[in-house]
Structure 1
Amino acid sequence: MRRTTVTTLVAALIAGLCGVALMPRAPRLDARSTGDRELAVAVRAAVPDPSGHRGLAVAVVENGRVRTAGLGDRDLAGRPVEPGTPFEIGSVTKALTGMLLADQVAAGVVGPDDHLGVTWSEVTGPARDVTLAELASHRAGLPRLAPASPLGWARVLWSNVSGGNPYAGQGVDTIRGAADRVRPGDGRGEVDYSNLGPSVLGHALAAKAGVAYPELLHARLLRPLGMTATVVATGDDDLPAGRAQGSRAGGRPLDPWPSAGYAPAGAGPWSTAEDLGRLLAATLAGTAPGADAATARFREDDDTRIGYGWFTSRHGDHEVVWHNGATGGFRSYVGFERATGRAVAVLGNTDRDVEPIGLRLLGVPPREADSAASVLLPWIGAGLAVVFTFLGGLSLLGTARRRELDQVTVLAAAVWAFAYLGLGHRLGDWSVVPAWLWPLGACVAAAGVAVAATRWHALPVVDARVPWRRLVSVASSVVAAVLAVVAVAG
């Protein structure tokens, strides 16, 4: 017993020391800044907590003047964020797609009440009867995403685990096929947020113009506004040079999301604080193509209305027109207040919310601004960190102390222990949970291995009374090993 205790303590100590060297390190906004120094100081004062933010790019519009600043690091190499650094903007693109609709309406090309089937004649399913205005305002009754097969959902799940692109391989045909298959639901006419609806809208407008969506967006909106750094990446070759690198707030780097199919909804577009500042200044002035898209037309609830892509919400005495965005490793926010003539764009290269920063810069009181942040996601990440870090090791300790045991079961439990440890390292939000918990998890896993090792030679290879256990154990071990490889190397 004494020998086992000493062995266990030594193994746990060694694992703990190794764990300290390997423990996750959450990003934290550092002191470096570029661009307008006064604005950079104001941005830092507006950041509720610098933990979980790696870099920020910000534009503020006041009295028609655009000021920009960059803060922190754009990537893991420590290169600084600049006002011209490209970030994924996610669903902010929905506001641009809404402006395309308003622009095409003003040009007499389409009408807001035109049916989808008239604008995009290739769509022949039930969704052909929804209107363009319904698509732009999330009132078409379409689902959030295109219906997927079990294999498709498995691919999305795998991308979430591996940090990959869930929209990879989904092109314009995916969106058109979904529009042919889906039937508008009973909620048609009510605001129900969708990625499919704006994607259908963007490709319908492009089909009407006889070009692809990126070309239409560039010709009608980006080029007239001088937004030369804004691009739609439909493939890896389109990713902009000098771009920011996205990651989780816990530190894990994530792949970018180039996409052709969901580009009008936000998968694929990149922009800069400088370009978004130009967009906001022109939209406030009413000179941007399709600026009328920001006019609120339909009600979502007592505090929020929607136009073509743009939301309008009340925050106390402030009425803000806005949209936010979220991709795998980026967050974005654009908003303006007509009463003050002030506008702000905030881009971040982690999945830590930036909307509270934008609202604070617009003058919304901190308590109301911070209430706009998602409180659920950080706690989910914190839960994953704690559960995965300790679950495998505690389970292994329990298994190693069983009276009836075999080597295959011990081996499977050991593989699971370190697989869970790897998943906790990669999937947990270590900007919320203290990182020193992870070395403690490594100690528990190593202690379980040490206890199991003292019994190893006395155990049968497999318990003959439950022969199926070997197959189950081997299968689970293979799955755990794959997850561990993805978690650690992804």
Structure 2
Amino acid sequence: MRRTTATTIVVALAAGLTGIALMPRVTRLSAHATGDADLVAAARAAVRDPSGHRGLAVALVENGRIRTAGLGDRDLTGGPVEPGTSFEIGSVTKVLTGMLLADQAAAGVVHPDDPLVATWPTVTGPARDVTLAELASHRAGLPRLAPGGILGWARILWSNFSGGNPYAGQDTDATRSAADRVTPDDDKRGEVHYSNLGPSVLGHALAAKAGVAYADLLRARLLQPLGMNATVIATRADDLPTGRAEGGRAAGRPLDTWSGVGYAPAGVGPWSTAEDLGRLAAATLAGTAPGADAATARFRRDADTRIGYGWFTTRHGNHEVVWHNGATGGFRSYVGFERATGRAVVVLGNTDRGVEPIGLRLLGVPEQEAGEAAAATSVWIGAGLAVAFTFLGGLSLLGTARRRELDRVTLAAAVVWAFAYLGLAHRMGDWSVVPVWLWPLGAGLSAAGAALAMPRWSALPVVDALVPWRRLLSVGSSLLAAVLAVAAVSD
């Protein structure tokens, strides 16, 4: 007995030491720097905690002058971020779509109060009567996403679990079909309720009116006039810009890029640079950008925030900032400007840690007003996954190994799950919140359980059940689930 206990302790310690070498590595902003040296220094000062960030691209507009800088790494190989490095910009695209509406209205092509059906006649459902202005300002009463039924939600949940693209396969017809199926909520219509579906419908409607694709209309009316030549919409993997940043979680896990057509006007697929978005911010602030009037605040969301066509305007103490942010699987973005100071800022990051506070600090908003970055998901969810998965498998294995009635297939499944849970904790847990040294402890616990169980192996029956095939089927499906779960989160 003493020998078994000593062996278990030795195995646990060895596994724990090995786990130290293998434990999760939280991303951290490196010392790499490119571009304007003064802006690099200012941006670093605005980053209160470099952990959770991998790379940042920044642009600052002051007195009509645009300065740009890159900080940290654009990818896992350590390549430096440069001002011209492309990032996914997510929902910042919504301001481009709002500016398209303002531009087309100024050209007399559409009117903001036109019903959707006047611009996109093929939409025949109840949403046909919502106005273009309502779509641009999240006041159409449409849901955040298109209703997709059980299979649609299952696809989104699986994408979130596996780190994939939740919008894969969504094209323009899918967006039009969603507009046909959905019924605007009369209780919410006229009030600001954030929606990805609304701006997507608006963008494709404006494109349909012009007889071109959304990406082509955006390029012709907004991007080319502003010289935003590095801004692209990736509808396929082949469209991804070269030398782009690679996105991932703050805890270090790489994630797939998002691409597609259906939700492109809301932020799925667009890539841009700090240089390009600096041009956008400067021209919008100066009022010279096509559709710059979209930034005019027209409707109230709450006591501190109003909205125009895509652009939000929020008061932070004595500062009134016009802005929009963006979030995709592994990227965060922020564009904001303040008319009173004539200052504008762009901050792009390639993890899921928010960059809004960095942008606000660069605009001069006081610390207490700038706040901290909101987590991509609840902090407790990521922390809970890290702790639970780290110890759940080992504790379960220890319990299984001590059972009087036991067979080999049950024990084998418990061992597989003990280390599968470790893999899930490594990849899915938020280790930017939870101390990473907990993971080697979990590795030691799982190894201790295995060491405790192995001496019993030769004396155990293969299957100890009245109906062996049922036990085999149950254990087989459990093992398959473990393999699939780990495979889904591995890259």
TM norm. shorter chain > 0.5: yes
Structure 1 residues 375, 206: closer, same or farther in 2, change over 3 A? closer
- Aligned pairs for 1:203-214 within 5 A: 203-214=204-215
The one-letter amino acid paired with 2:209 is: K
Instruction: Please name the residue that 1:103 is paired with.
Output: 103
Kept in 2, the 8 Å contact 1:334–1:358? The answer is: yes
Local SS of the residue matching 1:321 = strand
Instruction: Please name the residue that 1:397 is paired with.
Output: 398
User: Hey, what's the Cα distance between the residues in 2 that align with 1:72 and 1:372?
Assistant: 18
How many pairs does the alignment contain? 489
User: Hey, what's the Cα distance between the residues in 2 that align with 1:221 and 1:375?
Assistant: 30
In the alignment, structure 2 segments of 5+ residues that lack a partner are none
The one-letter amino acid paired with 1:478 is: L
The one-letter amino acid paired with 1:120 is: W
Instruction: Please name the residue that 2:70 is paired with.
Output: 70
Structure 1 residues 80, 197: closer, same or farther in 2, change over 3 A? same
Instruction: Please name the residue that 2:246 is paired with.
Output: 245
The normalised TM-score by structure 1 is 0.97
**How much does 1:461 deviate?**
2.4
In the alignment, structure 1 segments of 5+ residues that lack a partner are none
Kept in 1, the 8 Å contact 2:69–2:82? The answer is: yes
Instruction: Please name the residue that 1:322 is paired with.
Output: 323
Kept in 1, the 8 Å contact 2:352–2:376? The answer is: no
**How much does 1:455 deviate?**
1.8
Query: Structure 1 residues 264-273 or 413-422, which shifts more?
Result: 413-422
1:230 aligns with 2:231: yes
Task: Map Cα deviations across residues 26-83 of structure 1 (whole Å, 9 max, x no partner).
Answer: 1111112100000000000000100011100000011111110000111111111000
Instruction: Please name the residue that 1:484 is paired with.
Output: 486
Task: Map Cα deviations across residues 263-293 of structure 1 (whole Å, 9 max, x no partner).
Answer: 0000100000000110000000000011111
**How much does 1:364 deviate?**
1.0
Local SS of the residue matching 1:138 = coil
**How much does 1:21 deviate?**
2.0
Kept in 2, the 8 Å contact 1:222–1:230? The answer is: yes
Query: Structure 1 residues 44-53 or 22-31, which shifts more?
Result: 22-31
1:26 aligns with 2:54: no
User: Hey, what's the Cα distance between the residues in 2 that align with 1:464 and 1:164?
Assistant: 40
Local SS of the residue matching 2:29 = coil
**How much does 1:340 deviate?**
0.7
User: Hey, what's the Cα distance between the residues in 1 that align with 2:156 and 2:169?
Assistant: 11
Task: Map Cα deviations across residues 180-231 of structure 1 (whole Å, 9 max, x no partner).
Answer: 1111113111111111111001000000000000000000000000001000
The one-letter amino acid paired with 1:205 is: L
1:266 aligns with 2:267: yes
User: Hey, what's the Cα distance between the residues in 1 that align with 2:84 and 2:394?
Assistant: 46
The one-letter amino acid paired with 1:227 is: M
The one-letter amino acid paired with 1:287 is: T
Task: Map Cα deviations across residues 312-356 of structure 1 (whole Å, 9 max, x no partner).
Answer: 111111111110000011000001111111110000011111001
The one-letter amino acid paired with 2:441 is: L
Kept in 1, the 8 Å contact 2:354–2:373? The answer is: no
Instruction: Please name the residue that 2:355 is paired with.
Output: 354
The one-letter amino acid paired with 1:482 is: L
**How much does 1:451 deviate?**
1.5
User: Hey, what's the Cα distance between the residues in 1 that align with 2:379 and 2:80?
Assistant: 26
Kept in 1, the 8 Å contact 2:353–2:376? The answer is: no
Instruction: Please name the residue that 2:125 is paired with.
Output: 125
Kept in 1, the 8 Å contact 2:353–2:373? The answer is: no
Task: Map Cα deviations across residues 400-434 of structure 1 (whole Å, 9 max, x no partner).
Answer: 11222222222222222111111111111222222
The one-letter amino acid paired with 1:212 is: A
Instruction: Please name the residue that 1:472 is paired with.
Output: 474
Kept in 2, the 8 Å contact 1:418–1:484? The answer is: no
Instruction: Please name the residue that 2:177 is paired with.
Output: 177
The normalised TM-score by structure 2 is 0.97
Task: Map Cα deviations across residues 337-391 of structure 1 (whole Å, 9 max, x no partner).
Answer: 1111111000001111100100111111112212463485444322221111111
The one-letter amino acid paired with 2:284 is: T
1:334 aligns with 2:335: yes
Local SS of the residue matching 2:90 = coil
The one-letter amino acid paired with 1:179 is: A
Local SS of the residue matching 2:293 = helix
- Please tell me the root mean square deviation across aligned C-alpha atoms, in Å: 1.4
Query: Structure 1 residues 287-296 or 414-423, which shifts more?
Result: 414-423
The one-letter amino acid paired with 2:486 is: A
User: Hey, what's the Cα distance between the residues in 2 that align with 1:376 and 1:329?
Assistant: 13
Instruction: Please name the residue that 1:60 is paired with.
Output: 60
Kept in 2, the 8 Å contact 1:4–1:451? The answer is: yes
Instruction: Please name the residue that 2:79 is paired with.
Output: 79
Kept in 1, the 8 Å contact 2:167–2:259? The answer is: yes
Task: Map Cα deviations across residues 417-462 of structure 1 (whole Å, 9 max, x no partner).
Answer: 1111111111112222222221111111111111221222222323
Structure 1 residues 261, 376: closer, same or farther in 2, change over 3 A? closer
Kept in 1, the 8 Å contact 2:353–2:374? The answer is: no
The one-letter amino acid paired with 1:121 is: P
User: Hey, what's the Cα distance between the residues in 2 that align with 1:249 and 1:39?
Assistant: 24
Kept in 1, the 8 Å contact 2:353–2:375? The answer is: no
Percent identity of the aligned residues?
77
1:436 aligns with 2:430: no
**How much does 1:466 deviate?**
7.0
User: Hey, what's the Cα distance between the residues in 2 that align with 1:279 and 1:401?
Assistant: 65
User: Hey, what's the Cα distance between the residues in 2 that align with 1:276 and 1:269?
Assistant: 12
Query: Structure 1 residues 428-437 or 188-197, which shifts more?
Result: 428-437
Kept in 2, the 8 Å contact 1:356–1:373? The answer is: no
Kept in 2, the 8 Å contact 1:23–1:425? The answer is: yes
